[in-house]
Each structure stands twice: as C-alpha cells, then as structure tokens.
Amino acid sequence: MSKSFGNVTNPDDIVREFGADALRMYEMFIAPFDQMVPWNARGVVGVYRFLEKVWKLALRLPRRSAPRNDNELERLLHRTIKKVSEDIAAMKFNTAVSALMILANEFSTGSNSIKPDCLETFLKLLAPFAPHLTEEMWQKLGHKTSIHLEKWPEYDSKLIREESISLPVQINGKVRATIQVPVDITEDEVKELAQKDENVSKYLAEKSIRKIIYVKGKIINFVINSDWH
C-alpha cells in the first residue's frame, strides 16, 4: 500500500469501526511479530467477532449459583495459562492469541458451567491483548481496581498433565488402529488392550506373533508371520 496511490489503510478508520482492541489484537495475531504480512481487513473483522463473543460470555454467566467447573475445561484453562505465559515471554503473540481463542470457544459451548473466577482468569490472560475490553468487563464483574494491576495467573502443574494419549498400533510396520490409553499404563496392559481392538484383532486372527515392539507413549508394533498380507 502507498499514500501516493491512495490505497493506504488509515488505522484511525479501523479503530472507529472496530475499536482499538480489535486492531491491536489483529496485529498480534496476524503472524509472528518479526514477519511482514499483507494487511487483510477481513482479519480485523474476525478478531472483532471474537471479542464480541468474549463480551457475551460474561453476560451469560450465572448470577446466583456458583457452578462447578467441568474437569476438562479446568484442565484446558491451566494448559492455556502455561501456553500464553510462555508465548508472551517468547514474543509469540500470535500463538498466544490462538490459544485464547480456543479456550473462549470451549467456554462458549457451555458458559452456564463456568465459575466466575474461571472467566476472571481468562480475562487476565486476555488483558495484554485487549486492554480496554477486559478492563470494562473486569469492572462489570464487580471489581474496583484495574485488571492490569492484578497478579498474573499461575497454572497448576497437576492439571496440565495429560490423563490419556492416543497410541498408534502397527502390524508389520503398518498402522492399523489407534487406541486411547492412560498415560501411566503398563506395557503388558498396552499389549492386552491393543490385541482386543477390533481393527487389530482381525489382522492377528490365526497368526503367530513373532515379536511385539513397544515404545512407551509412542507406538506398539506387532510383528507376525511373513505370509501375512
């Protein structure tokens, strides 16, 4: 874009139409901060809609009851705290914003099950990217001091551990199934569980297993008769 050709985008126009937060957040989200990318007005619209979703989220919180957080949602919240904290420190603002968008989408699918303090933690994470919106929402939640004076959230290391993983099951080096297993499962339990899988058992039927190769948390491979096809 160039002023001489009259096709420059005036940031004041963007701010008037979508607000300063949408412009600020879009510039952080569009790409890694050290990369040059073409301006895309539709991207600002997308960020603006995201901020609208966040605003509506607060309006839909229960006023009287204090519902329990869904365990998976709480785990996602703490993984997001870790992700956003690390990304900000590394100046990876685009991936930090992406993580916040994922969390907001999860909140939106069941806002009636979210505790106010869960939303407040989310707003603290969002505050560096959308300072004006989060400040106003913070005040509407009943706080008298600025959100920007609040202590940065800390994650619970116990809540960011994965409880289960997807484990590929190979037969003679070809992936034939993927099973969901607990992270602390033993090798014998993996072997038993894999052989019970319908997609695996049909390939193992009436075959002699010569060897089982198991790489913990990565893969299990059944080596069977060479006449298998």
Q: Which two tokens stand for residue 182?
A: 């607990």
171 and 128 co-located in one domain: no
Query: Residue 111 pLDDT more than 60?
Result: no
- List the Cα angle 174/175/180 in 5-degree steps: 155
The percentage of residues in the chain with a pLDDT greater than 90, rounded to a whole number, is: 53
142 and 209 co-located in one domain: no
- Containing 85, the helix (H) or strand (E) segment is helix 71-89
170 and 89 co-located in one domain: no
Q: Which residues pair with 145 in a beta bridge?
A: none
| Tens digit of each residue's pLDDT (9 = 90 or more) over 165-210 | 899 999 999 999 999 998 888 999 999 999 999 999 998 988 899 9
Domain range for 19 is 3-159
205 and 140 co-located in one domain: no
The pLDDT of residue 74:
87
pLDDT grade for 106, boundaries at 50, 70 and 90: confident
In a 3-state reduction of DSSP, which class is residue 224? Answer: strand
Q: Which residues pair with 175 in a beta bridge?
A: 170
Which of 159, 176, 200 is the C-terminal boundary of a domain?
159
Rounded Cα distance between 25 and 47, Å, is: 7
Please tell me the total count of domains within the chain.
2
Rounded Cα distance between 89 and 72, Å, is: 26
Asked whether residue 122 is assigned to any structural domain, the reply reads yes
Asked whether residue 229 is assigned to any structural domain, the reply reads no
Largest CA distance in the chain: 77
Taking CA atoms, 179 is separated from 52, 161, 206, 207, 219, in Å, by 39, 19, 22, 21, 10
Closest CA to 173 of 93, 106, 228: 228
136 and 192 co-located in one domain: no
Asked whether residue 126 is assigned to any structural domain, the reply reads yes
82 and 178 co-located in one domain: no
Which of 107, 133, 159 is the C-terminal boundary of a domain?
159
Q: Which two tokens stand for residue 160?
A: 């960011």
Sign of the CA dihedral with 157 first, then 134, 48, and 89 last? negative
155 and 170 co-located in one domain: no
Asked whether residue 199 is assigned to any structural domain, the reply reads yes
Nearest 5°: phi and psi at 221?
A: -130, 125
Rounded Cα distance between 43 and 38, Å, is: 11
Which of 141, 159, 177 is the C-terminal boundary of a domain?
159
CA 224 to chain centre: 40
101 and 175 co-located in one domain: no
44 and 143 co-located in one domain: yes
| Tens digit of each residue's pLDDT (9 = 90 or more) over 214-226 | 999 899 999 998 6
